[in-house]
Amino acid sequence: MKGYYFITDERLSAAGTLRNVKDALSAGVKVIQYRNKGALSRTLYEEALALRRICKKAALLINDRIDIALAVNADGVHIGQDDMPFAVARSLLGKNKIIGITVHDLRQALIALRQGADYLGVSPIFTTGTKVDAGQPVGISLIERIREHGEIPIVAIGGINLSNAQSVIRAGADSICAISAVVTKKDIKGEIKKFQRLFDEVNKTKP
């Protein structure tokens, strides 16, 4: 799980979720998280099914909804601290599906590590207006502290843009997501490629 991690946001998108995901895939994104808060179950199912059909070379993860993930045979789910407990999610999905967990502090991260999460979504790194219940910024220091405890993939989310992304990558994030910095723009593919180039630049200078 390296590079740009794409999360859909129907509210911010001008072109719509399907078009956004197609652009992200054409930019080389390898992980798509489908998130559509407040949508009806039928809408979630139909959109997720459409995404499943086009995500042939990328993992499709469903935010929160394990039932939708099972219904469309998604590659996994992303769950938060108030969602289905990890053990229950694992028992429903089986051992081969991906389960990522959002964490907001080191204690939550260590619990997720012990439980066997496939990756951690560390959030929010900076102040963000994309998710109203995101909480207080945790900063890049939390990424550094988590990295001291293992090599689990870390996805950094929240308030990330082109001006601060390098510091997030250098802190140890394997992937970053910059929702409003990408889906609000006309050229989504081009914006994602800018972040991908930052990964290449930082990786070249790492010791």
Q: What is the pLDDT of residue 143?
A: 98
The amino acid occupying position 53 is: R
C-alpha 32/C-alpha 54 separation (Å) is 11
- Dig out the tokens for 2 from the structure: 């390296």
Q: What is the pLDDT of residue 133?
A: 65
Q: Which fold has domain 3-205?
A: TIM Barrel (3.20.20)
Q: What is the pLDDT of residue 131?
A: 62
Q: Where are the domains of the chain?
A: 3-205
Q: What is the pLDDT of residue 132?
A: 61
CA 40, 130, 15, 154: dihedral to nearest 10 degrees? -90
The amino acid occupying position 154 is: I
User: Please, what are the averages of pLDDT over each run of 10 residues along the chain (207 residues)?
Assistant: 95 94 98 96 98 97 98 98 97 98 98 98 89 80 96 96 96 96 96 96 82
Q: What is the pLDDT of residue 156?
A: 98
